[in-house]
């Protein structure tokens, strides 16, 4: 059995490939990844040469690169799993072009390829952000309207509509998963949790947007990856499945919990100007995935954070490599009010 995975050198892709190969001894995977700032080939270097994993550097927006990846996967992969994306909301607010190109055009190029090679399944990894923002109460279910608020979220919603059209018009057997906020190993430190852990370990201030009352629904990355696998194997083509995590928490309380677990002072938290258009709250009703796929998230926030902190502390070289000079330039542009306090290491 051969699968084509895109974006497998990023955070969720790395975790997904490890999980899928462990779950299926007869599976081999081709990983097509452009290696943007968010991709790191070394994440899965130990699998290269195993005979079950091949890495191909390439761009999902370029049909020739996608065709090459499909050839490497034997010409007719049993599944194409699209994990590649420009995934950071803040970067999409500063400059939306790459986000729209990869997330929208790239998805269409992959759908066209799936049709041509008659892949048996296409799985689009999407996000809760396509639903927009909630107030203090309520949850999103799969029939909630798409109401994205950031350029990133809008590009992911657009990709979902292209997937829907490919199912309806061309009969592509595609399934969509909508995960909530992920955390865990291999996440680049532009995102809140790895930024907090790596800044705290370096004794540097942690930026908290606005009043810190925004709420996210956190899912441990391995729970999310099990959900993607379950949807691929047991989901119905044409359907979307919410994959929400176990915990909802305000950002300021989350940072307090992380610092407590790390034995660091909460005085490291520094309010910074709010994100423009900042969604207040996300919360997913995952009843469909629980009943149809037999999936449930298993790792609660306290355990997941402890495991995540332990991973970052065991892998300082990985973090140092992620926090390179390009990251420093990004950080200075994103957090000008913090820059004078300390530069990221
Ligand atoms: P990430 O930014 O860590 O990784 C993205 C990967 O895609 C990188 O390896 C990058 O090199 C690759 N990539 C980018 N553009 C590419 C292109 N044009 N061609 C080929 N490869 C390209 O992202 P992530 O956090 O792992 O997210 C993965 C997917 O999961 C995304 O589709 C995202 O929308 C979705 N998602 C993420 C979260 C989350 O909390 N991180 C939650 C729900 C859904
Ligand atoms: O420095 C920060 N300070 C801060 O207060 C950063 C980077 C974020 N925040 C806030 C903004 C959000 O309310 O923390 C929350 C989480 O922010 P991010 O880690 O940037 O995630 P979010 O914007 O919620 O989006 C994430 O979840 C859905 C992923 O990045 C997306 O790819 C996914 O689709």
pLDDT, tens digit (0-9, with 9 covering 90-100), for 255-308: 999 999 999 999 999 999 999 999 999 999 999 999 999 999 999 999 999 999
**Residues 12/38, Cβ–Cβ less than 8 Å:** no
Ligand closest to CA 7:
1
Is any atom of ligand 2 closer than 6 Å to the C-beta of 150? no
112 classed as catalytic:
no
Cα distance between residue 296 and residue 246, in whole Å = 9
What phi, psi does 341 have (nearest 5°)? Answer: -75, -45
Tokens of 136: 């203090």
Q: Is 128 an active-site residue? A: yes
Residue 101 carries which DSSP code? I
Rounded to the nearest angstrom, the distance between the alpha carbon of 64 and the centre of ligand 2 is 33
d(CA 314, CA 239): 39
User: Is any ligand 1 atom within 6 A of the Cβ of residue 251?
Assistant: no
Nearest CA to ligand 1 atom 19: 59
Atom 28 of ligand 2, residue of closest alpha carbon: 181
| Ligand 2 center from residue 249 Cα (angstroms) | 13
Whether 38 is in the pocket of ligand 2, judged by its Cβ within 6 Å, is no
Q: Which ligand is nearest to the CA of 184?
A: 1
Among 53, 152, 186, 312, the active-site one is: 152
**pLDDT of the chain, 345 residues: tens digit per residue:** 999 999 999 999 999 999 999 999 999 999 999 999 999 999 999 999 999 999 999 999 999 999 999 999 999 999 999 999 999 999 999 999 999 999 999 999 999 999 999 999 999 999 999 999 999 999 999 999 999 999 999 999 999 999 999 999 999 999 999 999 999 999 999 999 999 999 999 999 999 999 999 999 999 999 999 999 999 999 999 999 999 999 999 999 999 999 999 999 999 999 999 999 999 999 999 999 999 999 999 999 999 999 999 999 999 999 999 999 999 999 999 999 886 565 444
Q: Is ligand 2 within 6 A of the CB of residue 214?
A: yes
Pocket lining: 104 vs ligand 1, CB cutoff 6 Å: no
Rounded to the nearest whole angstrom, what is the distance from the C-alpha of residue 73 to the centroid of ligand 2? 34
Residues, the chain, total? 345
Residue whose CB lies within 8 A of the most ligand 1 atoms, among 11, 41, 231, for a mutation test: 11
> CB neighbours of 308 closer than 8 A, spacing ≥ 6?
183, 184, 185, 193, 194, 197, 220
Is 90 an annotated catalytic residue?
A: no
Q: Does the CB atom of residue 39 touch ligand 1 within 6 A?
A: yes
Tokens of 345: 């290491």
Q: Which residue has a Cα nearest atom 36 of ligand 1?
A: 127
Helix (H) or strand (E) holding 237: none
């Amino acid at each position: 059995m051969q699968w084509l995975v895109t974006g497998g050198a990023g955070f969720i892709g790395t975790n997904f490939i490890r999980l899928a190969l462990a779950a299926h001894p007869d599976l081999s995977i081709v990983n097509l990844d452009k290696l943007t700032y968010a991709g790191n080939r070394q994440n899965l270097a130990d699998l290269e040469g195993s005979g079950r994993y091949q890495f191909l550097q390439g761009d999902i927006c370029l049909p020739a690169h996608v065709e090459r990846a499909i050839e490497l996967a034997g010409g007719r992969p049993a599944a194409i799993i699209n994990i590649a994306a420009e995934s950071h909301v803040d970067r999409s607010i500063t400059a939306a072009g790459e986000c729209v190109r990869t997330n929208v055009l790239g998805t269409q190029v992959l759908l066209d390829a799936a049709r041509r090679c008659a892949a048996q399944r296409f799985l689009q990894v999407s996000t809760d952000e396509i639903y927009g923002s909630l107030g203090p109460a309520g949850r999103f279910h799969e029939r909630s309207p798409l109401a994205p608020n950031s350029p990133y979220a809008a590009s992911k919603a657009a990709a979902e509509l292209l997937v829907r059209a490919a199912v309806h018009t061309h009969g592509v057997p595609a399934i969509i998963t909508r995960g909530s906020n992920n955390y865990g190993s291999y996440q680049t430190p532009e995102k809140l949790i790895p930024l907090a852990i790596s800044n705290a370990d370096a004794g540097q201030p942690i930026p908290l947007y606005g009043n810190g009352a925004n709420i996210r629904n956190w899912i441990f990355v391995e729970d999310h990856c099990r959900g993607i696998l379950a949807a691929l194997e047991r989901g119905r083509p044409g359907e979307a499945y919410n994959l929400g995590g176990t915990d909802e928490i305000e950002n300021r309380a989350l940072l307090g919990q992380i610092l407590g677990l790390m034995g660091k002072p909460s005085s490291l938290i520094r309010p910074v100007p709010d994100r423009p258009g900042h969604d207040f709250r996300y919360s997913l009703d995952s009843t469909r995935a629980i009943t149809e796929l037999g999936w449930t998230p298993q790792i609660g926030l306290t355990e997941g954070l402890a495991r995540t902190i332990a991973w970052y502390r065991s892998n300082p070289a990985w973090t140092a490599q992620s926090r390179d000079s390009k990251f420093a330039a990004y950080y200075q542009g994103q957090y000008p009010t913090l820059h004078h306090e300390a530069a990221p290491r």
